[in-house]
Each structure stands twice: as C-alpha cells, then as structure tokens.
Amino acid sequence: MPLSIEELQQAMAEHQYIADRALATTVYLAQALQKPIFLEGEAGVGKTEVAKVLAKVFDTNVIRLQCYEGIDANHALYEWNYAKQIMRIRLEEKGDKPKEHLEKSIYSEEYLIKRSLLEAITSDSLRPPVLLIDEIDRSDEEFEAFLLEVLSDFQVTIPEIGTIVAKKPPFVVLTSNRTREIHDALKRRCLYLWIAYPTFEREYEIVTTRIPLINERLAAQVCRFMQAVRLMDFFKRPGVAETLDWARALLALSVDELDKETVTATLGCLFKYREDMQKMMAELDAILARVCVPSL
C-alpha cells in the first residue's frame, strides 16, 4: 500500500490513471483519517474510475452501489430470500419441530441476500474493499439520510438478526454529477474534491498513457479539439471518457490526423444529442483551423 502522496500518484499512474496532486492528497488523507471521499464534477471526468483504480492499487475488490431515483435501503442493504424461505417452510410442515425454531432458522444469514452496502460491511477479505457509491445525486434525500447513518459508524441493524459492525471499514468513494445539491451533513463526513475537466497537458498525458499506439500528432489534435469544444455551450459537454472513446475510434479507423470528413463521421463518439451535433457542425471549420496546427 502506498506510503506517501508521491507513491500513491505513481501507483495510480502504473494502473493508467493520471492523478493530479490534489486527488492523490485527498485519497492519502482519506486513508489516514479513515473518511470517505466525495468526488464531484461533470459526467465523464473520471470520478468512477478513481474507485476502480484504487481497488487495483490497494489490491482489493471494488463493490459498486449504483444510485438511481427510488433506490431504498432494501435495494442497497439486503433482502430476504423469500423463495428459499417458503421452500424451507414447506419442508418443515410435516416435521415436529417447534415453530419458534423454524422462524429463527429462516431469518438467519443463510436466507439473507446481501446487497452492496451489507456486502462491503461484512467483507472478511484480507484487505477491506473499495465501496463505490456512484452518482449519489440520482438518489432521493431519504436514501441520502440513510447513507449518512451507515457511513457514520459502518454498522447496520437487521431487526431479525441484530447489529452488524464492519470488522474493517471499507474505503468509500462517493461520486456526484451535481444534478442536485447533496446535503451538507453527508459532505461533512467526507473529504470533498471537485474534479474539473483536465488541462491540455494532463489530457494529452491521459490519452497517450491509456492509448499508447496513438501517434503524438493525432493525440495533440484530439486534445486541442476537446479543449476548444469545452469552451462552447452544449447541452452535454464531452468529458475525458468521450475523449478516450474518440481517440480509440480514430485509431480503429487508421486515422493519422483530424480532418473535417473524419470528425463529421465520428461526432457520435463525442455528442449524444442532435442539437449538440448541429451546433458543433456549425463551428467545425473554425475549430479545425485552430487545432490542426503543427505542434508537439
């Protein structure tokens, strides 16, 4: 496990994640203070990838809880395996064991279906898992309040079984695309970091690290194009994930440099709305004139 911020940066880079000093420092402090980290930023800037890479760095597994509107404790924590319970009840119907014994049996861990949060809390692996609570802003405020309780003590209470306390608290990464504000009470329990779109230099390093076969000229043109695009007003600006998808698509097409025909044919890698593509086409000549200049 990395012993310093620099070692953490290096370890993440070895797993093809180019972390800046602020991110590495936040992760380092989260380890030291045993606090969750709360990553906020536009979609596609690499927030989710942080959890996946940290699982590799810490040599453990990642347990993901994908949030959505309407998610509740049952979906995140546990459910009873009703089909298995009914089967047990039918098998016991002809037996002579007391009902109290049957009731105690069917409400034991054997009949529990563990969801992400309970799986992370009860993990008995050598190293604690990385718990990724992805897109918390998609969930309701009630679920946010429930999470607040779980993350405070890393324990949950199941009425039929009792309180379960984590032997080794998981390393928790929460992400938000900021579609709504998260309550201050939850933020206070975390180390907060806003992940912005990368600079040209950092995005170029990300592209050439993740896609080593891309030539330097094309990588530079792609990154300059993305920097220019993000200055425009779109319904959804493309993030780093779209940059990497586009670069891989260009490589698959054996493209060595950007031109209008290629960009037009591959705009679907960058934009997911018709209006954004139309706006891009209106400005394409001007942007290509700026980004397709010899450099690097």
Angle, alpha carbons 281-285-290 (nearest 5°): 125
The pair of structure tokens assigned to 237 is 């600006």
Residue 206 has pLDDT above 60, yes or no: yes
Of the ranges 36-40, 62-66, 103-107, 244-248, which one carries the lowest mean pLDDT score? 103-107
Tens of pLDDT, residues 120-148:
999 988 899 999 999 999 999 889 888 88
Q: pLDDT value at position 19?
A: 92
- The DSSP-derived string for 17-38 is ----HHHHHHHHHHHHHT--EE
Angle, alpha carbons 54-251-198 (nearest 5°): 45
Q: Closest by alpha carbon to 44, among 238, 199, 272, 228?
A: 238
End-to-end CA distance of the chain: 36
**CB contact at 8 A, 227 and 243:** no
Q: pLDDT value at position 23?
A: 95
Higher pLDDT, 259 or 109: 259
3-state secondary structure of 78: strand
Q: pLDDT value at position 33?
A: 92
Q: Pairing relation of β-strands 171-176 and 112-114?
A: unpaired
Alpha-carbon distance of 115 to 119, in angstroms, equals 6
Structural Rg of the chain based on CA atoms? 24
**Mean of per-residue pLDDT scores for the chain:** 90
Residue 230 — very low, low, confident or very high, per pLDDT cuts 50/70/90?
very high
3-state secondary structure of 155: strand
Residue 1 — very low, low, confident or very high, per pLDDT cuts 50/70/90?
low
Residue 273 — very low, low, confident or very high, per pLDDT cuts 50/70/90?
very high
Alpha-carbon distance of 84 to 90, in angstroms, equals 10
Residue 296 has pLDDT above 50, yes or no: no
Residue 2 — very low, low, confident or very high, per pLDDT cuts 50/70/90?
low
- Residue spans of alpha helices (H) in 173-273: 184-188, 200-210, 216-229, 240-252, 260-265
Tens of pLDDT, residues 84-104:
888 888 887 777 777 777 777
Alpha-carbon distance of 132 to 116, in angstroms, equals 9
Chain centre distance of CA 245? 17
Amino acid letter, residue 107: Y
Q: Which residue has the tokens 């530079």?
A: 220
Task: Give 262-271 contacts, CB < 8 A, sequence gap 24+.
Answer: 263/225, 263/288, 269/242, 269/245, 270/229, 270/238, 270/242, 270/246, 271/234, 271/236, 271/238
Higher pLDDT, 37 or 79: 37
Alpha-carbon distance of 149 to 243, in angstroms, equals 38
Residues in contact with 266: Cβ distance below 8 Å, sequence separation at least 6, in sequence order: 246, 249, 250, 253
Alpha-carbon distance of 229 to 223, in angstroms, equals 10
Q: pLDDT value at position 223?
A: 96
Tens of pLDDT, residues 48-83:
999 999 999 999 999 999 999 999 888 898 888 888
State what percent of residues in the chain have pLDDT above 90: 66
**CB contact at 8 A, 78 and 112:** yes
